[in-house]
A and B are shown apart, each in its own frame.
Chain A
């Protein structure tokens, strides 16, 4: 049991606990916060579910093993984790070239994956924006996340969202507007591409 609840700790505070007795609780919380982003960006870069799963596993084991190299004065945990993810993904991307992989028709995840004709560096460079957008979406509160998911990813109109969720139309509109404000704020924050590429 952590002396302080893991939920209340920042990413950076959790990183300091990866070398002590609270390692599992700390790593578990970091996983909860970031695994969807690592997996989603992995799917974009690698276009392969099993490789994206391998990426998630390798990345979080590396976070644990390399926690001593993280220096919060040099940037946020998110940016550091992005660099770890990018490095592991590049290795796996090269490995993919040697694999024969069956691609099921109509897999919605692969449909959005990067065109493999792009070079690895090119693909990975584009992943920084994916990472930031994913992080911005992840930190939205649940009601904002829901409205963005339904409006953008499922393409529902505001009225359709209201009908599906039972939330009044006016509330759906105000939540959509608030969600966009939050996304704009989150996307404006954080490190630049140059810092991410350090």
Chain B
């Protein structure tokens, strides 16, 4: 066989991808052709380099959005730092109508029913303040304020949720609840991220009642697509289904 016929097969030969009879022909030719031997050596060098190749894997798709969201949020926080009085019109500052994971909280309305004797539904007015981004600081601080008519008898009743995306993709949720009544005996609260019939638990907690209750919870990256937040009061019984006793509810637009 001529060199011109052997050359196209050399890479496949180096990879061990030829049929046995083709490989035997290549070997016979190589035994008497220094030019093709040299060519094969160079191909072998490349093949050897491939051993250093990293595993053919791609990072998870959500990571890019996380990074761009952080860039966006950090850019926003710089604007806010420069003009703090303008913080109520973030969208105007960005000049964009893009919906980021952080902007999603912008019009969050959370209904806060009382966990006291009468069930009181509290509407939440949301204020989103982007903190100056550092690893430890929240990217969104959500102030939960009951409407005046629903706060009767609930002096100083309010809540704050701070969201911090973690490098792992999880989201840390820090709840600060003020004067949030203790759960009933043999009961506890649980925070859920809900989408349709599906829900993800962010964890369970209790409350100190009078004063501030601070709770640190985590949800996995998938919870970003779960736009309803519920805090339910769960009871220590044999029923493993989530309770229908909703103490707090929020909808993300």
Residues of A in contact with B (beta carbons under 8 Å apart): 23-24, 27-28, 31, 35-41, 43-44, 50, 52-54, 56-58, 60-61, 64, 108-109, 112-113, 126, 129-130, 132-134, 137, 148-149, 151-153, 155-159, 161, 173-174, 176-177, 179-180, 183-184, 187
Can you list 12 contacts pairing A with B, beta carbon distance less than 8 Å? A31-B64, A54-B167, A54-B168, A112-B55, A133-B54, A152-B15, A159-B19, A173-B9, A177-B8, A180-B14, A184-B43, A184-B46
Residue in A134, A148, A151, A159 with the greatest tally of chain B CB atoms within 10 Å: A151
Interface on chain A toward B: helix, strand, loop, or mixed SS? helix
Residues of B in contact with A (beta carbons under 8 Å apart): 7-12, 14-19, 42-43, 45-47, 49-50, 52-60, 63-64, 66-68, 70-72, 75, 167-169
Instruction: Assess A24 versus B72: contact at CB under 8 Å? Given A41-B54, A133-B50, A176-B11.
Output: yes
Min C-beta distance of A98 to chain B, whole Å? 15
Residue of A nearest to B10 (CB): A177
Q: Give the distance in Å from the alpha carbon of A54 to the alpha carbon of B165 in the complex.
A: 12
A24 touches B54 (CB 8 A): no
A61 touches B70 (CB 8 A): yes
What chain B residues lie within 8 Å of A58 (beta carbons)? 167
Min C-beta distance of B32 to chain A, whole Å? 21
A151 touches B54 (CB 8 A): no
What chain A residues lie within 8 Å of B19 (beta carbons)? 157-159
Q: Give the distance in Å from the alpha carbon of A58 to the alpha carbon of B167 in the complex.
A: 8
* 9 A-B pairs closest in CB distance: A40-B54, A54-B167, A180-B11, A39-B59, A129-B52, A157-B17, A158-B17, A133-B53, A176-B11
What chain A residues lie within 8 Å of B58 (beta carbons)? 35-36, 39
Q: Give the distance in Å from the alpha carbon of A28 to the alpha carbon of B63 in the complex.
A: 11
B56 touches A149 (CB 8 A): yes
Instruction: Assess A183 versus B46: contact at CB under 8 Å? Given A24-B68, A31-B64, A130-B54.
Output: yes
Min C-beta distance of B220 to chain A, whole Å? 12
Interface on chain B toward A: helix, strand, loop, or mixed SS? helix
Residue of A nearest to B67 (CB): A60
**Of A43, A129, A130, A151, which one neighbours B12 at CB under 8 angstroms?**
A151
Starting from the known contacts A53-B59, A57-B66, 18 additional A-B residue pairs (CB-CB under 8 Å) come to A27-B68, A43-B55, A44-B55, A54-B168, A112-B54, A112-B55, A130-B52, A133-B54, A157-B18, A159-B19, A173-B8, A173-B12, A176-B12, A176-B15, A177-B12, A180-B11, A180-B46, A184-B46
Q: Give the distance in Å from the alpha carbon of A123 to the alpha carbon of B42 in the complex.
A: 26
B68 touches A130 (CB 8 A): no
A57 touches B8 (CB 8 A): no
